Structure 1
Amino acid sequence: MQVKSAEEKANEAARSWASPGVTALERGLAVLDELGAAGGPVSLVDLAQRTGLYKSTLLRLLASLERCRYAVRQADGRYRLGPVLFRLGQCYANGFDLRAALDPALTRLAAATQEAASFFVREGEARLCLARVEGRQEVRDWVTIGTLLPMKGAAGHLLRCFETGYRPGLPLIHTSFGERTPEVAAISAPVFRNGAVLAGALTVSGTCTRFRDEAHRAEMTEVLWQEAKALTAELDGDVSSFRDGPG
């Protein structure tokens, strides 16, 4: 039995449509499928072998995918899936265990602190807002789910600090004032999964004026700490890293 290449399959699918330009679309989708199946960054040569496409064809398709942020070309020349795919998967996210655990935790955190509660994960040299619940303050920062932000502020520092997993001796609470945006402050705590693997940064954010109130900041830090610990336990992370309290 002859096994058809990805290019042959794409061409067959394209011929089933009358509209022009479908061939390029099918080929682009085939590239995305193989980037996902690779399970990590893949070189142009490997991608050509996986798809059966010429490298010149691949480069044109990848250029379009990069411009639309469906694919990312790393500094070492390898390719991986891009962050925009997250937004396309939001309808499916309800069945995703992490998201299912996040929403109740963020809702509790925002209600208890009155500030915006967010969860960030690292995406290359940026951080992506995976989930968020707005606070009840009239003056607050505005970040939407799916937004990519610089690796600055409390969440950015925390994601860098624990990118390889839990590291004993390092503080779990990170606080920032006006680093990313003037007058915006944040407090972040890590959430771990499957033992010591970093799941992301649980964060509360608001104005520098409110966060410089020591009593308010201490209350928020305690609530944040407890929610991060509870999320870690729910995701089968090692809660022993939270044994000493927020300090």
Structure 2
Amino acid sequence: MAKVAEKKAAAVPLVDAVLKALEILDCFNTHETELSLNQLCEKTGLYKSRVHRLCGTLITSGYLVRTSRTNYRLGPKLMVLGKVYEKSNSLRSIAAPFMKKLTQDTGESTALFVVDGMKSICMAREMGSSRLVYSINEGDYMELTPTAAGRVLLAYADTNFVQRVLSKNKQTRFTENTKVDTEEILAELERIRREGYGINNQEREEGIAAIAAPVFDFENNVPAALAVVGPAHRFKEKHIQDLLDKLLIAAREMSRLMGES
């Protein structure tokens, strides 16, 4: 979920109190499931008295729960809304059987990513058989440039958006393999458009490799990238080709169901 406060253009006047309440909800993630009043103030930049009032309102509505005098967690109402979203999200429902089969056929984990703000977010994940822990979870954000799925999403994105990502975000060198040079990243995006897939060899995390393919919709846009992820030592040339063949079949079938023309 992108920071609501960063959304500038709106067809109707914005309600400040609603935006600030949503900013509070947006502070929570899979790594920070419980936050104190002080932490929420730091993350939102709001005064303690205002955060306290907003949290009280969110608690009354079921969107937050208080775990101690000053600590909060997300409330059960969000789980209900999440289930409604799951059932109504066609992309996720279309992807589910293909991801399950792809994981069964390859033995590797599969994940579905979409762009959200200036990053990608994991919409769905299917765990493979590897004992090596793959640390991305559903709902987690990842940078666009050092990942196979992120670069696939960038490769088919609007040019202005790509320039904003490359200029606004300082490219972090996560490992010695991470591409941080702008020209090198742009060349990789061009290769992805030409060859139809992205690859990441331990650029985001040591020991982890991935390949990703675009999923097209009825307007030939790319709303999602489907990725196969696993231990780098298994992503050798012969195995990669086998993985890629299976991945591209799944991505093409998903695109067909999404209405690709």
State whether TM-score is above 0.5: yes
1:225 equivalent in alignment to 2:252: no
| Deviation readout 1:142-182 (Å, 9 max, x if unpaired) | 221111111121011111111249x9953311101111111
- Counterpart for residue 156 of structure 2: 162
Shift, 1:97, TM fit:
1.9
Write the distance in 1 (CA, Å) between the matches of 2:156 and 2:259.
17
Write the distance in 1 (CA, Å) between the matches of 2:158 and 2:218.
13
With the length of structure 1 as denominator, give the TM-score of the two structures: 0.63
Gaps of 5+ in 2: 28-43, 45-73, 160-189
Q: CA RMSD in A?
A: 3.2
- Counterpart for residue 123 of structure 1: 116
- Counterpart for residue 77 of structure 1: none
- Counterpart for residue 193 of structure 1: 217
- Counterpart for residue 21 of structure 1: none
Aligned pairs for 1:87-166 within 5 A: 89-92=81-84, 93-151=86-144, 152-164=146-158
| Deviation readout 1:70-120 (Å, 9 max, x if unpaired) | 8xx9xxxxxxxxxx9997643021233222111001001111110000100
User: Helix, strand or coil for the counterpart of 1:176?
Assistant: strand
- Kindly provide the amino acid, as one letter, of the partner of residue 110 in structure 1: T
Which of 20, 26, 31 aligns to 1:69? It is 26
- Say if 1:121 and 1:130, in contact at 8 Å, map to a contact too: yes
Change (3 A) 1:88 1:41: farther
Write the distance in 2 (CA, Å) between the matches of 1:88 and 1:217.
40
Write the distance in 2 (CA, Å) between the matches of 1:226 and 1:88.
34
Write the distance in 1 (CA, Å) between the matches of 2:117 and 2:193.
26
- Say if 1:162 and 1:198, in contact at 8 Å, map to a contact too: yes
- Kindly provide the amino acid, as one letter, of the partner of residue 155 in structure 2: C
Write the distance in 2 (CA, Å) between the matches of 1:86 and 1:178.
35
The structure having more radius of gyration, on CA atoms, is 1
Gaps of 5+ in 1: 1-34, 52-57, 74-83, 239-247
**Identity in percent:** 23
With the length of structure 2 as denominator, give the TM-score of the two structures: 0.60
- Kindly provide the amino acid, as one letter, of the partner of residue 224 in structure 2: G
